[in-house]
Amino acid sequence: MRLPLAVSVGVATGLAFGVSQPRAAQGLTATVAVPRFEVDPAWPPKLPNDWTWGVPTWVSVDKRDQVWVLHRPRAAAPEQRSKAAPAVVLFDKNGKFIRAWGGPAAGFDWPDTEHGIFADYKDRVWITGINPRAGGDVGRRSDDMILQFTKDGKFLKQIGGRDVSKGNTDTANPKQSAEVYVHPKTNEAFVADGYGNRRVLVLDGDTGTFKRMWGAFSNEPLDPPPPPPRPPAGAPPAPAKPVVREGPGPQQFGIVHSLEVSNDGIVYVADRDNSRIQVFTMDGKFTTQAFINRNEGGALTAASLAFSPDAQQQFMYVADQSNSHIHIVQRKTLTVLHSFGRRSATPGDFQGLHHIATDSKGNLYTAEAQVGRRAQKLAFTGMSANR
Inside any domain, residue 106: yes
- Domain boundaries, position 183: 3-221+249-386
First CA to last CA across the chain, in angstroms? 27
Inside any domain, residue 113: yes
pLDDT band at 3 (very low <50, low <70, confident <90, very high): low
pLDDT tens for each residue of 214-232: 999 999 999 988 877 888 8
Inside any domain, residue 230: no
Helices and strands in the chain: count of H runs, count of E runs = 0, 25
Helical (H) or strand (E) element with 200:
strand 199-204
Give the CATH number for residue 326. 2.120.10.30
Averaged pLDDT, 53-81: 96
pLDDT band at 137 (very low <50, low <70, confident <90, very high): low
Predicted local distance difference test score (pLDDT) of residue 25: 41
Averaged pLDDT, 32-48: 95
Inside any domain, residue 359: yes
Is the pLDDT at 27 greater than 80? The verdict is: no
Inside any domain, residue 351: yes
CA distances to 116, 206, 247, 263, 285 from 282, in Å: 22, 18, 26, 11, 7
* 131-137 contact pairs (CB < 8 A, 24+): 131/176, 133/176, 133/195, 133/196, 134/369, 136/112, 137/72, 137/74, 137/75, 137/112, 137/113
pLDDT band at 236 (very low <50, low <70, confident <90, very high): confident
pLDDT tens for each residue of 163-222: 999 999 999 999 999 999 999 999 999 999 999 999 999 999 999 999 999 999 999 999
Number of domains comprising the chain: 1
CA distances to 90, 263, 290, 354 from 246, in Å: 42, 31, 12, 25
Inside any domain, residue 244: no
**CA 357/CA 75 separation, integer angstroms:** 23
Is the pLDDT at 46 greater than 90? The verdict is: yes
More confident call, 41 vs 244:
41
Q: Residue 323 carries which DSSP code?
A: T
Average pLDDT over the chain, rounded to whole?
90
Averaged pLDDT, 353-380: 96
DSSP 209-241: -EEEEE-GGGPPP-PPPPPPPPPPTTSPPPPPP
